[in-house]
Amino acid sequence: MLAELWREPVLYALPVFALSIVIEVWLLRDHDEQVTGYLARDSGISFIIGFGGLVAMAILKLATLALFVFLWECVALWHIPANTWWSWLLLMVTVDFAYYWDHRFTHRVRLGWAGHQVHHSSEYLNVGNALRLKWNPWFEAVVWTPLPLLGFAPWTIYFAFIFNLVYQFFTHTEIIGRLPRPIEYLLNTPSHHRVHHGRDPEYLDKNYGGILIIWDRLFGTYQEELHRPSYGLTKPVGTHNVLKLQYHEYGNIIRDVRGARGWRNKLGYIFAPPGWQPKDLRAPATVTTTSAKG
């Protein structure tokens, strides 16, 4: 059981990640000049952030393991088998559904965005920058908790979530155009994810799906790629300092809360969408966001 619990596809996928980066760099030599490509310093920052993100995910597993095992063994009314194809299909779809709402939360609630914004901080889109993972994945624990209650074994939950992230790694590229229509309709593709990373007004807060894009189609957050996006935050951070890239938005929240009048406005700066501000406030909030919606 324990041996299976710690099997992570991300560990086995690391050589594939590295090879994918090498292939992408080579292919970009003859690609459209408008493609953002790679910048050495920017990519180096992504690798450092990625290492910290993997450590954070390992800590999250340790922190939630005992709780998930207890919920699965002592509270769940049934156990879903882990040795059938239908149970894995059910788990993957369930995890992807949970990921959609987790991802949407991190874009539409400023406190969630404070952790997630680092993933959007680069103005380059490539498989290397997919490694810009947050170091405080606290909300994932909330999203995962119902799954052992539904009967999914804890080790399968961890595996499915990591597999979901591994799949998304390969959607961070500009060298793959649109795929055949059935694939584009069902799955999250590079075209869909380029839209998600775009800071253009028509692309903001779109395409949250992990593996499946059908959630966006169902819940009104789907956007087709109309033109090549501009990437990054609408208000760039302007630094390569890893700690500032990770945590600066929390400082912005604290400053806005301290300066706000009344509890309603204070809570708005924490839980309202990024970019929100009181109606009577003329000066813009200090948020660095991919959304101007309030």
Q: What is the DSSP letter of 176?
A: -
Spatial distance between the Cα atoms of 176 and 193, rounded to a whole number of angstroms: 11
CA distances from 17 to 9, 12, 54, 130, 131 (A): 11, 9, 14, 10, 10
pLDDT at 76: 94
pLDDT at 285 over 80: no
| Whether this model's pTM surpasses 0.75 | yes
What is residue 119's three-state secondary structure?
Answer: helix
pLDDT at 282 over 60: no
Residue 231, beta-bridge partner list: 198
Residue 79 CA, chain-centre distance (Å), reads 29
pLDDT at 251 over 60: yes
Give the total residue count for the chain. Answer: 294
pLDDT digits (tens, 9 = 90+) for 72-123: 999 999 999 999 999 999 999 999 999 999 999 999 999 999 999 999 999 9
**Phi (first) and psi of residue 231, to 5 degrees:** -105, 160
Residue 101 CA, chain-centre distance (Å), reads 11
pLDDT at 200 over 90: yes
Mean pLDDT of 27-53: 80
pLDDT digits (tens, 9 = 90+) for 109-119: 999 999 999 99
- Kindly give, in sequence order, each residue whose CB lies less than 8 Å from that of residue 129, ignoring residues fewer than 6 positions away: 42, 43, 46, 122, 172
pLDDT digits (tens, 9 = 90+) for 132-156: 999 988 888 889 999 999 999 999 9
Spatial distance between the Cα atoms of 229 and 34, rounded to a whole number of angstroms: 11
Spatial distance between the Cα atoms of 116 and 122, rounded to a whole number of angstroms: 12
- Range of lowest pLDDT (19-33, 141-155, 173-187, 274-288): 274-288
Q: Where are the alpha helices (DSSP H) in the chain?
A: 2-5, 9-27, 40-70, 85-108, 110-116, 138-144, 146-149, 154-169, 181-186, 190-197, 214-219, 242-259, 263-271
- Kindly give, in sequence order, each residue whose CB lies less than 8 Å from that of residue 219, ignoring residues fewer than 6 positions away: 100
Domain regions of the chain by residue span:
36-248
Contact call for residues 48 and 242 (beta carbons, < 8 A):
yes
**Phi (first) and psi of residue 220, to 5 degrees:** 80, 25
Quote the mean pLDDT of the chain.
Answer: 88
pLDDT at 139: 83
- Range of lowest pLDDT (58-62, 147-151, 262-266): 58-62
Q: How confident is the model at residue 274 (pLDDT cuts 50, 70, 90)?
A: very high
Spatial distance between the Cα atoms of 90 and 213, rounded to a whole number of angstroms: 16
> Closest Cα to residue 246, out of 154, 120, 139?
120
Amino acid making up residue 3: A
